[in-house]
Structure 1
């Protein structure tokens, strides 16, 4: 006879409800374990991505002409691997997580499956290795959601949409070292209707993943501290100008990216029917612009960081980075648009410095960054918090918020549909549960 049978019935019931094997404890272990893994994997992913980006730049510095061949071939090869082995790993990863919340149980074997997450990790690094204009933040969201979902499955816990939302939020927090942005991102982007019961799960996952990131990588600021501020009159003038310019540009990016997947124009129909050739053509665009400018490769982090700290870039940088990021994004390669968007926004901010030569240069650049980023992702609160936390520019919160809100309004004039929402609908159609 087992020990449990010898215990009184009330004690056995209490153990089932509150003991170590109870659902509540298993859920807490899943959250803790999942968030710890998210923090570790996010840092590992960041290191691999940075190394891949550095290897490509070293390759380009030695043989400047080689990307004209290597980049298109690399795009075609990665597109073939993605379509053949992991079609649900295409693009950013954020639309997949949004789609996964519609059918959480089935999504664990499709949109956020382990195989998909591993492919996302490897292929995003591969994209950076051939010069693609991608970031790792969106892919980190999909990988983190997969980790959190798998932990819940291993511990036999029912999977709700909040599991993926918490995982994705923890991914953003760990990728940027921005815990507040992780929470804001969960509310604005991943959760269509933010439920009260999600709060503890999201907060716990973000906190733990952030602590792991801080413990291993240290207390760093993504772009470095930027302490400049704007006077009231300066903010009233500069914020609307930046908001309109950045918002319109961001809205244009979203509209073109969505149109690339739906346009009925005959050349686009042919290209969509031949994804490998399409990817190679996009790789040619990226290679030609990269070789011509030497500034548009990869995430654009170094360039954006230099602009914030006072370096100037040519007037054509923002349009050129816009074109390379769009070409990479529509090619179908796994990879995010967060970091490239911040780089484009910094380029727009650099253009605005010519309009406001007497204003603090770094502050004007941040207005351009937040406005463009908002125009693309249409999440003004997330944009403001990401810019504020990645630059320690808390003195600019109000001007940044004004530019973001104006940027969102301006973006709606160009593109009514939110980018990630539109892309998530396509992934819903690709999964069996969408039928």
Structure 2
């Protein structure tokens, strides 16, 4: 024991008083030890909860697909009614559970300890999980990844409260990033998302514990779900001469489409136009109208329901898809997002991007289909989220297309710039201000 103590305090003689001081500073009752335990236990819980949530969402999506096939016309009534019911329940019992979940985590950084009672409380995220599953069961164009970020941040807050240590903003960011890593099985993308989008500052100090939380959550999710690649091992490639032509076009077209989507969402969330004011005055009726749009598109096309994962994967592997899929899925996702029910936009955005890539195949018919579709996905995702590095790494890790890295980087950075031509403000940060205003209004 003395040898261990001597290594911790070199050059100092071991005494019982110094040993007791070391225990107070670094022992099981110390703040440092409890903080580390809270982060590491939280990361393990994030991996488990993210996996269970993913499985529940997948089962709900499969259930709705079966319902829509056997009762083709019935969603024209059930989907709008589901939208109305979910919005009413959300506004009545869990107003902070609406939307993606990522804006809530961004807003929670300002006062993370207070946010554990509001934005990232267990009650809020429990409602978020249940209502998101309900949205999937209703055929809404939503994903589970954004809600997983809010769930993960709440878990980190919970473990810190259990061991009675203060929750830092960086740990909230780590929790959210761990959620991304567990949702997509992409630890590196989770880290970049923490730095690029949630923290929104490249100088953000990322400690080893934060890195550990992201990696551990991803490893736990992988150990439960198995070693899988989200879209499968595609391994797409594109010659440099072709990339010089395709990347700028994909970046501009997909980036501007992503900027348009963001502008619509921000205008409806914070705008003062007549439609935005009416939607806020009549939220349940407006949700029903949005649900009607989603239902009509889903019944007519049969493809725009839910996350769009199956359609996106089919286009990635080269299956011919209708040219209207991308625009139709964009409208369905926008209608779902502005309706006000809980649910994310990550997976639907990847599906929209695949649809845009499918359109670009008509412009570049001689190029590899999978590469063109993936560049469309990178461009649109970067245009919506405005996190180009995250977009590249997510698509690289979810398709195993590391040979496409340089064209993806070029597309993502061009898309980021093109998106700003249409919408200057970053989507998630703009939406986070609505939650900051809510908290300010509630403060005494």
2:71 to 48, 60, 63: 63
2:332 to 313, 324, 327: 324
Aligned residue number for residue 255 of structure 1: 263
Confirm or deny that 1:246 pairs with 2:229.
no
- 3-state DSSP of counterpart to 1:198: coil
Aligned residue number for residue 38 of structure 1: 46
Aligned residue number for residue 119 of structure 1: 127
Deviation at 1:433, TM superposition (A): 8.0
Aligned residue number for residue 399 of structure 1: 407
Q: TM-score, normalised by structure 2?
A: 0.95
Aligned residue number for residue 386 of structure 2: 378
Aligned residue number for residue 216 of structure 1: 224
1:336 to 344, 348, 356: 344
Confirm or deny that 1:205 pairs with 2:213.
yes
Q: Which deviates more from structure 2 when the two are superposed, residues 240-249 or residues 17-26?
A: 17-26
Distance in structure 2 (CA, Å) of the matches to 1:334 and 1:221: 26
Distance in structure 1 (CA, Å) of the matches to 2:370 and 2:437: 43
Aligned residue number for residue 359 of structure 2: 351
Distance in structure 1 (CA, Å) of the matches to 2:111 and 2:311: 40
Offset from partner CA, 1:186-221 (integer Å, 9 cap, x none): 000111345664321321111111110111111100
Offset from partner CA, 1:267-302 (integer Å, 9 cap, x none): 431221111111111100000111010000000000
Aligned residue number for residue 278 of structure 2: 270
Confirm or deny that 1:90 pairs with 2:98.
yes
Q: TM-score, normalised by structure 1?
A: 0.97
Are the equivalent residues in 2 in contact too, given 1:90–1:332 (CA < 8 A)?
A: yes
Are the equivalent residues in 2 in contact too, given 1:162–1:201 (CA < 8 A)?
A: no
Deviation at 1:306, TM superposition (A): 0.4
Distance in structure 2 (CA, Å) of the matches to 1:230 and 1:133: 31
Offset from partner CA, 1:100-130 (integer Å, 9 cap, x none): 0011111110100000110111000100000
Distance in structure 2 (CA, Å) of the matches to 1:111 and 1:212: 25
Distance in structure 1 (CA, Å) of the matches to 2:342 and 2:92: 13
Unaligned runs of at least 5 residues, structure 1: 1-6
Unaligned runs of at least 5 residues, structure 2: 1-14
Are the equivalent residues in 1 in contact too, given 2:270–2:434 (CA < 8 A)?
A: no
Confirm or deny that 1:103 pairs with 2:111.
yes
Aligned residue number for residue 6 of structure 2: none
- 3-state DSSP of counterpart to 1:245: helix
Distance in structure 2 (CA, Å) of the matches to 1:205 and 1:426: 29
Deviation at 1:434, TM superposition (A): 7.9
Offset from partner CA, 1:196-248 (integer Å, 9 cap, x none): 64321321111111110111111100000112211111000000000001001
Are the equivalent residues in 2 in contact too, given 1:136–1:335 (CA < 8 A)?
A: yes
Aligned residue number for residue 129 of structure 1: 137
Distance in structure 1 (CA, Å) of the matches to 2:161 and 2:206: 18
Confirm or deny that 1:389 pairs with 2:397.
yes
Deviation at 1:312, TM superposition (A): 1.4
Distance in structure 1 (CA, Å) of the matches to 2:380 and 2:202: 25
User: RMSD across aligned C-alpha pairs, in angstroms?
Assistant: 1.3
Distance in structure 2 (CA, Å) of the matches to 1:293 and 1:197: 47
1:175 to 178, 183, 187: 183
Distance in structure 1 (CA, Å) of the matches to 2:111 and 2:227: 37
Aligned residue number for residue 426 of structure 1: 434
Offset from partner CA, 1:133-167 (integer Å, 9 cap, x none): 00000000000000011101111111110111000
Distance in structure 2 (CA, Å) of the matches to 1:128 and 1:185: 25
2:318 to 293, 310, 314: 310
Aligned residue number for residue 8 of structure 2: none
Are the equivalent residues in 1 in contact too, given 2:259–2:384 (CA < 8 A)?
A: yes
Aligned residue number for residue 4 of structure 1: none
